Amino acid sequence: AVPLSYGLLIFPGFEVLDAAGPIELLNVLSVYMGHNEIQLSVIAATLDVVTPALRGPDVPGHRFAGKQHYLPTHTFDTAPALDVLIVPGGVGTFKPAEKIGPMVEFIRNVYNGSLGNPPLQYVFSICTGSRLFAEAGILRGHKATTNKQGWKSVTKLTDKTHWVAKARWVASGNIWTTSGVTAGMDGMVALIAQIYGDEKAEALCDMVEHSRQKDPENDPFA
Amino acid sequence: AVPLSYGLLIFPGFEVLDAAGPIELLNVLSVYMGHNEIQLSVIAATLDVVTPALRGPDVPGHRFAGKQHYLPTHTFDTAPALDVLIVPGGVGTFKPAEKIGPMVEFIRNVYNGSLGNPPLQYVFSICTGSRLFAEAGILRGHKATTNKQGWKSVTKLTDKTHWVAKARWVASGNIWTTSGVTAGMDGMVALIAQIYGDEKAEALCDMVEHSRQKDPENDPFA
């Protein structure tokens, strides 16, 4: 079935464009292209304001990034059944285990469907969002990629994972991982093409004036 | 002087990536590249939650876009003195005059410096953000561009403006306008290169894995 329930995971220190690139494309799909049956839940540990891109353990007062305030719609406990989960990266993925533990557990549970809900149709990470997938143990036996900045620290977290360095995105079964930041858009266009057809993906890129990358291995940053 | 005070204008029906593209680049500059002296104010008509990309006059309950909740830090009345104002586009720029009037007036006032503050160093629009510049009357005697979707309805709003159809961005004095959605990133990279130097812009693109567009006239969507 075509996915209808999308979730976006956010957390302190997420990377703004990691989330906004794919979400923009889905906004266009749902708002301008008639797919207004798809729904979004914005999910975080609590319903508190979330701020992005903060360096260090706790710098909520950052004068630039700290002024960007996002409100979740759901917590890990109240999130509805999901078909697709989108997980951005950012410095927030590098926090100690006790801080990221609940996110990692949430990802594992929704991916496997062990919260009384069916398993996800797709899980999709941008940048170091794949670090949370690695911690959740869902990358075993899969191909995956991540951004270039965090390459070593992310890829060392798994065994039995084939990490692909030269890739804008990697689709491995229902696990989609993308490279750094702007690669999230290329990956999401590819996923939209797979789900909704190539014509829709093409029209969508035209609407947002995005130069589509059709070859996942055409990665100028590798 | 190097600009220190940045403002981002948001409003119901703004286009997510219009704002997030340039803001991501400035996040990287301020969070990871040592320019933590620059500060951001997120400015709206009121301090209420703002939702993006909504079609039609009032559809706050949209199941996808309507779940994205942004909180402003300032209103038009409480905004601090600004050096740079960033104005995204989106369907919200096409609302009737009585709805967009206060935004238009705010833009005119901060651009000219008539709120007891000095004039802006730069004003920067993405997509149909330029529609608000046109309404504010600040494009007279300037070159400008806008997105392809709204071309006719935006460009008819001005006289004595040289509208450039084939452009990712146009810099005309201190007025920077960009083409549709993703063009905002290309334009902001160019502005960052002008302000902070080319090396910084280059490093920044590398960090976010963005293929830099150096030629403003290389516009595949024109």
Verify whether the Cβ–Cβ distance A70 to B70 is below 8 Å. Answer: yes
Task: Write out the E strands in B11-83.
Answer: 39-44, 69-71, 74-75
| Helix or strand (DSSP H, E) at A190 | helix A183-196
Whether residue A220 and residue B211 make contact (CB cut-off 8 A), yes or no, is: yes
> Cα(A146)–Cα(A129) distance, rounded to whole angstroms?
8
Q: For residue A183, what is the nearest residue in chain B, using CA coordinates?
A: B209
Residues of A with Cβ-Cβ distance to B216 under 8 angstroms? none
Determine contact, residues A84/A118, Cβ cutoff 8 Å: no
- CA B64 to CA A26: how far, in whole Å? 8
Query: CB-based contact (8 Å) between A98 and chain B?
Result: no
Tell if the CB–CB gap between A73 and B69 is shorter than 8 Å: yes
* pLDDT, average across residues A19-44: 95
The dihedral sign for the CA sequence A58, A107, A39, A2: positive
- Backbone phi, psi, residue A57, to 5°: -65, -40
Please answer yes or no on whether A24 and B16 come within 8 Å at the CB atom.
yes
pLDDT at residue B61, rounded to an integer: 73
Q: Does the pLDDT value for residue A129 go beyond 80?
A: yes
The H or E element that residue B191 is part of is helix B183-196
- C-alpha pair distances (Å), B81 with each of A168, A213, B3, B116: 41, 41, 11, 9
pLDDT per residue of chain B (222 residues) written in tens, 0 to 9: 899 999 999 999 999 999 999 999 999 999 989 898 999 999 999 999 999 988 754 566 789 999 999 999 999 999 999 999 999 999 999 998 889 999 999 999 999 998 789 999 999 999 999 999 999 999 999 999 999 988 999 999 998 999 999 999 999 999 999 999 999 999 999 999 999 999 999 999 999 999 999 999 999 999
Contact check, Cβ <8 Å, B55/A31 = yes
**């798809």: which residue's tokens?**
A38
Q: Residue A191's closest CA among A206, A176, A203, A205?
A: A176
B32, B83, B126, B209: best to mutate for the A interface, most A CBs within 10 A: B209
Provide the chain A residues 145-164 that lie in CB contact (below 8 A) with chain B: 147-149
- B60: nearest CA in chain A? A31
* pLDDT reading at A58 higher than 90: no
For the whole model, what pTM was predicted? 0.96
In angstroms, rounded to a whole number, what is the distance separating the alpha carbons of residues A74 and B166? 43
| Residue B173, number of CB atoms within 10 A of its CB | 10
